[in-house]
Amino acid sequence: MKTVVVTLTDEAYFSKAKRTIYDIRSRGEWTGDLVLITVGFRAPQNFLDYYKITQKYVDHVNTDRLLQQYHHHPIRPTCDNREFAKLTQWDKFYVFDSFFMQWDKVVYLDAGLRVLDRISYLAD
């Protein structure tokens, strides 16, 4: 069974994503496929090569219509106002892109997440 580990970042969060990728390869002992979805920017090639990362470049998900619907059909506000302030959260839907059908299993780790043990536990 082919498994891929995936994380996603925009340029503003790239430093946190780098930490997660370092953890994936070191503490996580993951030697298999690793994809970094880059939203609106391209990661440095030397970084991708060093950590053996496949980059999938995407643009931000257009949330204009979603925001219009929020105004017409309000939802209960969240404590951090994420429905209006954290629109990059919608970019995570790219993990369901057909590009990822080439693997049997996709393990998604949020950028900034710290890995403290082997990733293979999640892949089993």
Question: Is 0.85 surpassed by the pTM of this model?
Answer: yes
| Integer Cα distance of 76 and 48 in angstroms | 41
The per-residue pLDDT for range 42-94, each reduced to its tens digit, is 999 999 999 999 999 999 988 788 777 777 777 777 777 666 666 788 899 99
Confidence band for 124, pLDDT divided at 50, 70 and 90: confident
Residues 87 and 4 sit within 8 Å (Cβ to Cβ): no
Give me the mean pLDDT over the 110-122 stretch.
Answer: 95
Residues 26 and 116 sit within 8 Å (Cβ to Cβ): no
Give me the mean pLDDT over the 17-29 stretch.
Answer: 98
The per-residue pLDDT for range 60-74, each reduced to its tens digit, is 988 788 777 777 777
Domain spans of the chain, in order of start: 3-119
| Integer Cα distance of 7 and 104 in angstroms | 17
Decide which of 1.10.8.50, 3.20.20.70, 3.90.550.10, 3.40.50.720 is the CATH code for 3-119.
3.90.550.10
